[in-house]
Every structure is written in structure tokens, then in C-alpha cells.
């Protein structure tokens, strides 16, 4: 008589684990997002369009997405340099600098905003020397980009750093022995290996910057049509009890963010297949 053996999953308790995962994701992500769309659905199409296409809203979109994009690009460049230095060189204070990279993760965003405002204001340590030159950082879009660059740097460094650690220096030495100069070694060996991680870090820094609120409101000045970000405009509508208008702006941010992140993920997948 044949003995029938019950087929087991590779991971024991998969059904229960999957149930907990779906419940957890539903409570924290899916249900709140669905509530946002349902609340927005209470508006007519004319009201929805009037809310999201208002001049003040359009100005906040340009500032939020524009500043986040610039900050993410700055982080992609300087984050790669920081990761390269931490991986390739030994120097006094290396562990301290490596720990400081994670400071934006631990530092409350409001503290970061206050610190940057104090330093770059017209009477700050650095701002007092920039103002006579006609350069104003605090309460301008430049200050917003500066703060968003600060909070997004760890995402790029910590994403690129492990890839550089796995890239053995012997590969570069072999390229040099075969006659490749430094630029060829970088463009044909180092950059292709780091490119997917760099794109991932860029996407994470960009996504983090889009939703930033605490640090930006202190250094931005919050002037409508000039230095008002979309998250602040959403908070303003909530304080005015305009919940449908606030969720309408939130839906725009969600849709655009998802579209940009999808595009970046497609580019990342394409680069990995090359």
C-alpha cells in the first residue's frame, strides 16, 4: 500500500505568515490609501480640477518636485563620492564620518530644519557672509534643496556602498595592466556595476524628499507661490477643514510619485539586462 506523503511548503507556516502580512499591509498602507481616494471621490470632477489646478497648487508642485529632483541628483553625485571614499581609502576619522552619514536617519527632521535655518539665515554663522554677496539661502528654494539634500544623502551612500565593497580593486588593476586609463576604467567597469544601485538610491532619496515636511517648513519661509511646498498646502487645507481638497492634493502627489518611481524602476531593470 502506497504511503501518501503530505506535500509541505518550503517555508513552514506560509499561509499564516501571508495572512499576517496582508493584514499588516492593509492596515498601514492599502486602507489609508483607499480612504484618500474615496474621500477625493466626494468631489465632482470640476471641483477636483479646480483644487489641483489652482495657481497656488501648481506653484507648490513645481517647488516640491523640482527641489526633490535637484536634491536627488546632488545626492546621486556626492553620495557616490562619499561611498567611494569610505570604501576605497583608509584615513583617520573614517568611522566617525561613516557614522555621520546615518545622522539624518536619527536626527528629528524639525531639528535639522531649525539648525539649517540658524546657520544659513542672514545672521547665521554662514548666512551672514553670504548675504553681502547677494546670496540668500534661508527662506528661498535654495534652502529647501539644501535641506532635502541633507535628508536624502544616506539613501544613496548606503545603497552604493555595498556594491563598491563587492567590486574588488583587482578588477581595476587588471584594467590598468591591459592599458585602460582611469576614465575608461570608470566608464566601462565601475559605473556599469554601480549604476543599478545608484538609480535605486536616487529613487529612494527622491521619494523621501517629496514627502518631507518637518525640516522644510522652518527654512522655506512658507510664502505662497514662492516657497510653499505641497505637503504644507495639504496641512493648510486640513486646518481649514477642507478634507476633500487636502486628499485631492494628496492623490496628485501619490499618482505622480508612483509614476516617477515606476519609470525609475523600469530604467533600473533595463540597465540590469544590458
What residue has cell string 575608461?
A: 184
Domains of the chain, earliest start first: 54-273 (1.10.3720.10)
Residue 173 has pLDDT above 70, yes or no: yes
Question: Which of 72-76, 178-182, 190-194, 260-264 ranks highest by mean pLDDT?
Answer: 72-76
pTM, rounded to two decimals: 0.85
> DSSP letters of 105-166?
HHS-HHHHHHHHHHHHSTTSTTHHHHGGGT---TTSHHHHHHHHHHHHHHHHHHHHHHHHHH
Question: For residue 145, what are the contacts with CB-CB under 8 A and spacing of at least 6?
Answer: 67, 70, 71, 74
**How many other C-beta atoms lie within 10 A of the C-beta of residue 227?**
23
Looking at residues 10-34, what average pLDDT do you find?
80
- The pLDDT, as a whole number, for residue 187 is 79
Amino acid at each position: 500500500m502506497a504511503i501518501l506523503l503530505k506535500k509541505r511548503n518550503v517555508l513552514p507556516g506560509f499561509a499564516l505568515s501571508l495572512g499576517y502580512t496582508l493584514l499588516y499591509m492593509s492596515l498601514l498602507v492599502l486602507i489609508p490609501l483607499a480612504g484618500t481616494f474615496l474621500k477625493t471621490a466626494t468631489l465632482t470632477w470640476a471641483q477636483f480640477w479646480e483644487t489641483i489646478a489652482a495657481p497656488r497648487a501648481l506653484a507648490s508642485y513645481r517647488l516640491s518636485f523640482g527641489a526633490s529632483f535637484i536634491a536627488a541628483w546632488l545626492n546621486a553625485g556626492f553620495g557616490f563620492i562619499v561611498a567611494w571614499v569610505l570604501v576605497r581609502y583608509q584615513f583617520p576619522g573614517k568611522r566617525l564620518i561613516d557614522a555621520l552619514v546615518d545622522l539624518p536617519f536619527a536626527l528629528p527632521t524639525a531639528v535639522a530644519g531649525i539648525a539649517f535655518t540658524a546657520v544659513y539665515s542672514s545672521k547665521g554663522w554662514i548666512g551672514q557672509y553670504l548675504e553681502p554677496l547677494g546670496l540668500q539661502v534661508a527662506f528661498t528654494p535654495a534652502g529647501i534643496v539644501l535641506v532635502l539634500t541633507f535628508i536624502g544623502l544616506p539613501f544613496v551612500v548606503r545603497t552604493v556602498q555595498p556594491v563598491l565593497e563587492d567590486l574588488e580593486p583587482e578588477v581595476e588593476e587588471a584594467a590598468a595592466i591591459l592599458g585602460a586609463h582611469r576614465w575608461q576604467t570608470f566608464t566601462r567597469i565601475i559605473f556599469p556595476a554601480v549604476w543599478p544601485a545608484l538609480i535605486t538610491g536616487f529613487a529612494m532619496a527622491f521619494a523621501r524628499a517629496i514627502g518631507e515636511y518637518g525640516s522644510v517648513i522652518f527654512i522655506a519661509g512658507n510664502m505662497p507661490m514662492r516657497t510653499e511646498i505641497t505637503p504644507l498646502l495639504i496641512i493648510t487645507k486640513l486646518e481649514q477643514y477642507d478634507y476633500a481638497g487636502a486628499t485631492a492634493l494628496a492623490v496628485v502627489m501619490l499618482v505622480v510619485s508612483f509614476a516617477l518611481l515606476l519609470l525609475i524602476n523600469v530604467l533600473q531593470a533595463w540597465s540590469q539586462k544590458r
